[in-house]
């Protein structure tokens, strides 16, 4: 759909494919195309789940530093820094299960893209990290926030303060990725995982994702209220009736997504 970002849909699974040779450096155009891709797959009822993928050799090595180096503090203080967060916010807001398929490097902005996913599958040779500190800056596309929420503040500070690259096995132990597979199986594993959501109760999956993600931002009492409202609203869906009827009749639910 764009010069550097493609959306491919097959059997209910959409792949958002990053394709800007050689390292998928995330320039402003690519960020805008990712925002558009997120909106497209989010609005398409034929899409049950999404895979973020950068190709066989690299996920994304980070922001386009050549483009960024020419910017001043005044440039970044305004719309540019907001746009930097807007594209990852759009990816994180996709109302469907999202799986990042990480091959090669996922560094800086590349890791920030992967952090927007609900799950991450990494190849055995993958390396992830937030090396921005080595450029005299910090992550600016959500890295300080999503990373800390995923692995805890101390581990996030270690990665952000040091800027070090993390091998796949350590990333798994940190909870930074969810599965590690041979490099040539990364995409297939992510797609297979995504396909487990095809034919599922789309409204309930959407509600579960929103309740969990929104609940992380608020106190427990408010989070419980968010859960209560989402839970109650699902009683208006066809899928709720289908699922409960199938359970009572000891059958298999055939959800409609409505």
> Catalytic site residues?
63, 109, 112, 132
Q: What is the enclosing helix (H) or strand (E) of 166?
A: strand 166-167
Dist. CA 3–CA 24, nearest whole Å = 12
Q: Is 98 helix (H, G, I), strand (E, B) or coil?
A: strand
Read off the DSSP letter of residue 63. B
Cα dihedral angle (176, 181, 187, 192), rounded to 10 degrees? -100
Distance CA 170, CA 190 (A): 20
* Nearest alpha-carbon partner for 191 in 1, 6, 3, 11: 11
With residue 14 as reference, give the H or E element that holds it.
strand 13-18
β-pair type (127-129, 166-167): antiparallel
Local structure of 230: helix, strand or coil: helix
> What does the alpha-carbon distance between residue 76 and residue 59 come to, in Å, rounded to a whole number?
25
Phi, psi of 49 (to 5 degrees): -155, 165
The span from the CA of 79 to the CA of 162, in Å, is 28
């Amino acid at each position: 759909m764009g010069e550097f970002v493609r959306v491919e849909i097959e059997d209910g699974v959409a792949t958002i494919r990053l394709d800007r040779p050689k390292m998928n450096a995330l320039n402003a155009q690519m960020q805008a195309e990712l925002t558009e891709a997120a909106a497209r797959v989010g609005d398409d009822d034929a899409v049950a789940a999404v895979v973020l993928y950068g190709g066989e050799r690299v996920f994304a090595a980070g922001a386009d530093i050549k483009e960024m180096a020419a910017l001043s503090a005044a440039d970044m203080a305004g719309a540019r820094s907001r746009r930097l967060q807007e594209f990852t916010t759009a990816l994180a807001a996709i109302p469907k299960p999202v799986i990042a398929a990480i091959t090669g490097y996922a560094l800086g902005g590349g890791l920030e893209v992967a952090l927007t996913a609900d799950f991450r599958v990494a190849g055995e040779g993958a390396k992830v990290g937030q090396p921005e500190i080595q450029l005299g800056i910090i992550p600016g596309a959500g890295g300080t926030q999503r990373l800390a929420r995923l692995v805890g503040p101390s581990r996030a500070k270690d990665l952000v303060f040091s800027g070090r690259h993390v091998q796949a096995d350590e990333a798994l132990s940190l909870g930074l990725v969810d599965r590690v597979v041979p490099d040539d199986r990364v995409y297939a594993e992510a797609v297979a995982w995504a396909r487990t959501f095809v034919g599922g109760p789309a409204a309930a999956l959407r509600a579960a994702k929103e309740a969990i993600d929104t609940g992380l931002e608020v106190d427990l009492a408010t989070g419980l209220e968010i859960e209560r409202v989402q839970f109650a609203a699902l009683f208006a869906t066809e899928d709720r009736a289908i699922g409960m009827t199938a359970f009572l009749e000891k059958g298999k639910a055939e959800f409609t997504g409505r």
